[in-house]
Amino acid sequence: MSKTLKKLLENGKISLAISYLKGFEKGETEIDRETLVSALKNPDYRVKYHVVKGAYRRLPENSFRELIKEAFGVEAESPLLEFQFPVVNGNGGEMAKGVALLVDKKQEGKVSQVEELTGKGVLAFFNREFSGDSFQAPLAYALIYGELPENLLLSGKLSGEEFSADHFKEKEEIAKKLGKTLIGKGNIRKLGDFLKGEKTEIPLFIGTGEKESLKQPFELLCKTVNFEPVEGFIDREFLIFSLPATLPHSESWLPFFEDFKERVLEIKGRIPFPFSLHVALKTPITFSFGAGIVVGTGKLPIALYHFESGKYYRVIDLTEDSRQIKRRRRELRYVEIVSETGKETDTAVLALQVASHETRRKGEELAERFNGDFFYIHAPELKGGVPLSENWTEIVAELYEAMNRVYDRGYRKFYLIMSVPNPIAFALGMAVGNYWDIEVWSYFKELKDYKPVFNAGEIPNI
């Protein structure tokens, strides 16, 4: 059987020889040691790739090491590792595959940058021809850390520990078609330490204004949760969701929530291990409410932070049980419901107040305007602000309970204004979800008035 492979190679029938080698890898054919060594001296890169891959799978470890020694004059010092990476060609692009192992002598050439990083010699073999050096990052990662998570791809030329890919956009499209995320720049060590260390607390800062102005509070949030961004993968740009400095009062905010949904889903898609999202907000409270609707409960562990006296404090922790804010309460310790009812209507206006901004008068005005019953849901002891010592999670649960008690009366159309801290607004949005027909009105300082900005029932969730 080995003579068949030898003849195919001697006659330049490389494609048939490769098919034969694939059969050897699967155990369908046998090839003797002499023929394998001879095949490894063939100049075609594809032949070498399939010989090494097949020999590693079929031969005992000692026999494989002896084969490498005889063919290349080096001692193997690691298992054979497989990796892949996108390459751009005239047809748009495709995936290349490689196998590699560490050896006792440096090989120089295009693998020299990888050898500098590993401190060892490197033998690498590929299943297709390509130009450029973007194989170096995936090769280095495989040799140092092993296989990448299934949903990730790497591409980039090394410069020390740093790497950067050329033709990134084209390669990113190749990755997307495979349902994978391409990392095309960054630091190999930091990336590997992050993925192998499984850091579970991921910060997300949501704010209005230029992204540059949001970096300082984001860095403070990172310090609070003990997180270091990973350039090119989970970096500052990715974990800061920025909104315009002034959100519009004459059009719906739904497009912003669509964008926010995509960002959260992308974060979920990139991180290959369970994690919790640690959120700080610098937005209108009505946006925070809508962002909470996007996330919902039971889908992603969440912790929410409040800024006070130059620090961030975790005030709502839903990392273990996000549904605790939805459980009904028999008694209300923080919240009171003041109702003005009696109209024959299926409409209710809700004015929430757990902060200093007064909502009752505007709520009564809207009730008259829309011929609805009015409900003032407030926390009498907390209107000057919610102390850090209070149970913010319980306040959310009581606000949600109060809204449910109104809903249970049979109303089907709601108008909502609110004055609550951002973390409470976000968590309340999580609890309420997009099941009710609630038109949300936001206060605009420049107008000194409220305007409708979205309907909770239209907000997409993850």
Residue 410 one-letter amino acid? G
pLDDT at res. 272: 86
Residues 185 and 270 occupy one common structural domain = no
pLDDT at res. 383: 77
Residues 185 and 104 occupy one common structural domain = yes
- Residue 148 buriedness (CB in 10 A; 0-12 / 13-18 / 19+): buried
Residues 401 and 377 occupy one common structural domain = yes
3-state secondary structure of 443: strand
pLDDT at res. 134: 94
Domain boundary among 41, 72, 103: 72
Mean pLDDT over 85-112 rounds to: 89
Domains: count for the chain: 4
By DSSP bridging, strand 201-208 and strand 347-353 are: unpaired
pLDDT at res. 269: 87
- Name the pLDDT band for 90 (thresholds 50, 70, 90): low
First to last CA, the chain: 57
Alpha helices in 104-235 (DSSP H): 112-118, 136-145, 168-177, 188-197, 211-225
Residues 336 and 410 occupy one common structural domain = yes
For 76, other C-beta atoms within 10 Å of its C-beta total: 21
What string of DSSP letters covers 105-128?
S---GGGHHHHHHHSSEEEEEESS
Residues 67 and 162 occupy one common structural domain = no
Residues 297 and 406 occupy one common structural domain = no
What's the pLDDT tens digit per position in 206-261?
999 998 999 999 999 999 999 988 988 888 889 999 999 999 999 999 999 999 99
For residue 224, report the phi and psi dihedrals to the nearest 5 degrees. Answer: -65, -40
pLDDT at res. 1: 57
Q: What is the CATH number of the domain that holds 290?
A: 3.40.50
pLDDT at res. 92: 65
**283 touches 208 (CB < 8 A):** yes
377 secondary structure, DSSP code: E
Residues 310 and 341 occupy one common structural domain = no
The mean predicted confidence, pLDDT, of the chain is 93
Residues 310 and 377 occupy one common structural domain = no
Mean pLDDT over 58-73 rounds to: 94
pLDDT at res. 146: 93
Token pair, residue 223, equals 């310090």
Among the residue ranges 18-22, 102-106, 138-142, the one predicted with the least confidence is 18-22
Residues 332 and 400 occupy one common structural domain = yes
Among the residue ranges 11-20, 355-364, 407-416, 453-462, the one predicted with the least confidence is 11-20
What's the pLDDT tens digit per position in 304-328?
999 999 999 999 999 999 999 999 9
Domain boundary among 72, 104, 121: 72
Residue 403 one-letter amino acid? M
Residues 118 and 188 occupy one common structural domain = yes
Q: Which of 192, 208, 190 is nearest to 244 (CA)?
A: 208
Residues 286 and 328 occupy one common structural domain = no
What's the pLDDT tens digit per position in 133-150?
999 999 999 999 999 999
Q: What residue numbers bound the domain in which 38 lies?
A: 2-72
Residues 30 and 113 occupy one common structural domain = no
Domain boundary among 165, 195, 225: 195
